[in-house]
Amino acid sequence: MRRLSLGLPVKFALVGAAIGATGLLFYSLINAFLPSIRIDSPPVFRLYLLGAVVVFAFTGAVTGQVCYDDHRKKKEVIQRNRELSAINSISRIISKNKDQGKMLEETLGEVINLHFLDVMKKGVIFLVEGQGLRMAASLNLDPELTEEEECIPLGHCLCGKAALGGKSIISRNCMDDPDHTTSYNGMKAHGHIIVPIKSEDAVLGVMNFYLPPNILPSASDMRILKGVARQISVALQNNRLISDLESLSMNIIHALSSAIDAKSHWTKGHSERVSEYAASIGERLGMDQRSIERIRLAGLLHDIGKIGTYDTLLEKTEKLTPEDIELIKKHPDKGCEILSPIKELADILPAVRHHHERWDGRGYPAGLKEGDIPLMARALAVADSFDTMTYDRPYRPSIGVDNAIQEMKYCAGSQFDPEIVKVFLEICCAKRSSHVAEGADERSERKDTGE
């Protein structure tokens, strides 16, 4: 198709020349075979005909060039529109997926399934991790190859070289390429196109697509793949930024939680333990991963209202007075007041505010009952009470784990959600079994070693 288009101006010129030459031939035949028909000034007329040949040829050439340019421009516009459409489609997939692994898998599948892209239905995306490449997404790879390419050192094989050099690599046939060092049973001839995923100052990973043997990608294919690589790069950098901010936020929250607990040696580690108990309850209840992380966060911050309420009571050894108890009851509302300006914590405020509500409606601060109490708050109530009972306080000693378990059973259905108590006791039982097994293993090891 391309050769026909390139010959278009010449063809139009030949057609023009043929028209002029036909006229000249017709004139000569008339003079030769029909001498009775005379046309005045034969030499001048011949000159006119020769001029017509030239004019027709030039006109044909110009017309052909215009047609060719118009055809080429239309083809380029169609091709660029197709490229932009493909990249926009992939961009939507990238932007809608918050999970990085899922985003990479869906992007890889979308690229491979572009009908005009001359690649095989298999590919892989690697991300730089330390001094190597870790497989982050793959599609239709042979199981042996998946194990082989799970982690590739930088500079090793085609993908490692592309990551190290930061430039695209095209291999026509893996069987003839000395840089293609990966092999496995049943490997067939194929090519590769490897495009690096780069930020401004570093290579973040590579995309590796399989090609039919001895097939080279077009300039349009390369533009699409590089465009996709840029989109992935932006998404990866955004994810890292969000991850860094979340890590910073969690560090600040942990520091704040520790500061609350450090006000008294009696409460040291309390928020951390409540957080872990609550997360375990969430897992047993079948909460999704985000909800588990949110209840974990609520556990860390559930007592933040203590900052503005009863600092003076933390070391009090005497029995609490009614005034002391009323002051204590203010800390859930005070905690919400402290956290409410932080919009990212809005979803955990109900858990912080209502973790002292009771199943029978006799709790505080709102006197909510049964299912009206937020689920996270019900879980926190169990976790908070159990930890408080199993650790010493200045006004009373710990009642011990066994007694705390009995108290949880006794209060199920009155103070606590009975279903959550059941789940929590299952967790306690599983932990005890695990500790017993660990102790047995340790004793067995000591016996074997003669200690």
What's the pLDDT tens digit per position in 271-314? 889 999 999 999 999 999 999 999 999 999 998 888 755 666 66
| Torsion sign (Cα): 3, 7, 11, 12 | positive
Higher pLDDT, 83 or 98: 98
Query: Is a pLDDT exceeding 70 seen at residue 121?
Result: yes
Sorting pLDDT into bands at 50, 70 and 90, what band is 381? very high
Query: Is a pLDDT exceeding 50 seen at residue 436?
Result: no
CA distances from 239 to 105, 167, 245 (A): 16, 24, 10
For tokens 């409460």, the residue is 267
Percent of the chain whose predicted confidence (pLDDT) is above 90: 25
Question: Residue 398 has what DSSP assignment?
Answer: -
List the single range of 18-27, 65-74, 259-268, 310-319 with lowest mean pLDDT. 18-27
Supply the Cα-derived Rg of the chain in whole angstroms: 39
Rounded CA gap, 26 and 34, in Å?
11
CA dihedral 64, 65, 67, 68 (to 10 degrees): 110
Rounded CA gap, 297 and 376, in Å?
11
Q: What is the pLDDT of residue 107?
A: 82
Q: What is the pLDDT of residue 16?
A: 56
Tokens of 7: 């010959």
Rounded mean pLDDT of the chain? 78
Q: What is the pLDDT of residue 151?
A: 75
Rounded CA gap, 380 and 281, in Å?
9
